[in-house]
Amino acid sequence: MTGANSVLDAAAIRREFPILTSEINGKPVVYLDSANTSQKPNVVIDAMTTFMRESYAPINRSAYTLAASATEKYEGARAAVAKFINANSTNEIVFTKNATEALNLVAYSWGRANLQRGDVVVLTHMEHHANIVPWQMLQQERGIELRWVPLTSDFQLDLSSLPTLLAGAKVFSFTAMSNVLGTINPVEKLCAAAHAAGALAIVDACQSVPHSPTDVRALGADFAMFSSHKMCGPSGVGVLWGREALLEAMPPFLGGGNMISEVRLDGFKCAELPAKFEAGTPPITEVVGLGAAIEFLNGVGMANIRQHEIAMSSYALEMLTSRFGDDITIHGPRNPELRGATFSFAFRGIHPHDLSQVLDQSNVCVRAGHHCAKPLMKIIGANATARASFYLYNTTQDADALADALDSASDIF
């Protein structure tokens, strides 16, 4: 039932997610908005509940048993994250509130310490606003130059101009996968190109870490960031991974408790990594929840998730084109091996907002809008698109439900 070629039992996995087994108006929820934020399995909800009921306490500050064991759980989650992405050390794992903060942290701290007027930062046309606006703020403030890697007609990065764009650049910051097109970028190759040009490689891994195995060392990146809420974990926590030597050398970002080793009236000294970048009381329960999410994902197997999503992509692409032909335009690569299971589309000229409203009548949840990628939308010639995104808990039935709901939209418009 979960797609002919899938290696995992999505129907069984789905039963672990309370919202996905619930009904609205007697009809099941067909959740196709995981590129936006993912649902939470029982084990994550339970880990948070149990922690709040039995173990909640301050971390890194107090010495009593409850606090020591909360600290252990919090730091245990850090170790789990480090292992999950094959970081060299837990010192390389900084907890932020989301990936957006992580990108801003790098732009504020590394950027302000290292970028001067005229310095070049290379981005791509398929970036999320989170990987655009922080650099534009630096552009306004510092007069750095932004360059953009364009797209090919088949929704890939156009690498022909890359060496020219990277010449003299200080930073190349790019997404591992487009949250609009589904395009998976050749991250290793892009990191190598950045380094060959003497630039730092920053990988926005928001759309890749939840969906496939990640090995930051193999990627050869300098920084990578992702959000817990897109990978079955709670909202309120994100991860910045960075090479230890880089993080060491950076000035602090947010100032306050925990990030200092000394404070006097005349100045302060920073704490060691990773505390240096974790000012104030962190999202304690949420980090513990992220730890549970990673355990859950490891149990399913990240390679299996990737295989499942390839199968879902194949199925959805074939089914939608065979049912709707030219009435549907999918903005993204056709080859399931080169893309994630995130599909932006136009359907029979119906405005995406209207489309999502009609789909909602069948509890089919898709996002309509610019997906926080307005420059990209302009380039693909759309003000807005509808976007259906699949995850480990989606089945071919969800894809069919989408198609059935699209049919009913045609009836209205």
Partner 1 sequence: MPGIEDLYREIILDHYRTPRNRGELPPPAVCTEGNNPLCGDDIRIYLDVADGVVRDVKFSGQGCSISQSSTSMMTVAVKGKTIEEVRAFVRRFKHMMTLSEDGEPVDQSIKLGDIEALQGVVKFPVRIKCATLGWNTLLEGLDEATK
Summarize as ranges the residues that interact with ligand PLP (CB under 6 A). Answer: 98-100, 128, 130-131, 175, 179, 204, 206-207, 227, 238, 257, 280-281, 372
Question: Quick one: CA torsion of 95, 236, 190, 339, rounded to 10 degrees?
Answer: 140
191 an active-site residue? no
CA 64 centroid distance within chain = 36
348-367: contacts with its own copies (CB under 8 A): 353, 356-357, 359-360, 363-367
Minimum distance of partner 1 from residue 69's CB (angstroms): 9
Q: Given the complex with its own copies, which of 1 and 52 has the nearer CB atom? A: 52
Tell which residue, 344, 368, 350, 339, has the closest CA to residue 407: 350
Taking the C-alpha atoms of residue 35 and residue 362, their distance in angstroms, rounded to an integer, is: 20
CA dihedral for 336, 342, 345, 347, sign (positive or negative): positive
Query: Is residue 312 a contact residue for its own copies (CB under 8 A)?
Result: no
Minimum distance of ligand PLP from residue 127's CB (angstroms): 7
List residues bridging with 344 in a β-sheet: 387
How many chain residues bind partner 1 (CB under 8 A)?
A: 31
Query: Is residue 99 a contact residue for its own copies (CB under 8 A)?
Result: yes
Beta carbons within 10 angstroms of residue 172's beta carbon: 27
Q: Given the complex with partner 1, which of 170 and 331 has the nearer CB atom? A: 331
The residue from 6, 36, 91, 175 that contacts its own copies (CB under 8 A) is: 36
Query: Is residue 66 a contact residue for partner 1 (CB under 8 A)?
Result: no
Minimum distance of partner 1 from residue 74's CB (angstroms): 13
Binding mask 12-31 for partner 1 (x = CB under 8 A): ------------xx------
120-179: contacts with its own copies (CB under 8 A): 128-130, 132-134, 136-137, 139-140, 146, 148
Angle formed at CA 137 by CA 131 and CA 139, multiple of 5 degrees: 100
Residue 362: partners with Cβ closer than 8 Å, 6 or more residues away: 27, 30, 401, 404, 405, 408
The residue from 81, 305, 358, 366 that contacts partner 1 (CB under 8 A) is: 358
The residue from 187, 216, 275, 284 that contacts its own copies (CB under 8 A) is: 284
Taking the C-alpha atoms of residue 50 and residue 77, their distance in angstroms, rounded to an integer, is: 15
> Residue 264 binds which one of ligand PLP, partner 1, its own copies, none, with CB within 5 to 8 A depending on kind?
its own copies
Taking the C-alpha atoms of residue 337 and residue 309, their distance in angstroms, rounded to an integer, is: 9
Minimum distance of ligand PLP from residue 182's CB (angstroms): 11
> Residue 111 binds which one of partner 1, ligand PLP, its own copies, none, with CB within 5 to 8 A depending on kind?
none
Query: Is residue 28 a contact residue for its own copies (CB under 8 A)?
Result: no
The residue from 19, 196, 245, 412 that contacts its own copies (CB under 8 A) is: 19
Q: Given the complex with partner 1, which of 71 and 185 has the nearer CB atom? A: 71
Q: Which residues are catalytic?
A: 372
List interacting residues with partner 1 (CB under 8 A).
24-25, 60-61, 63, 65, 67-68, 71-72, 260-262, 271, 275, 351-354, 357-358, 361, 368-370, 374, 377, 383-384, 412-413
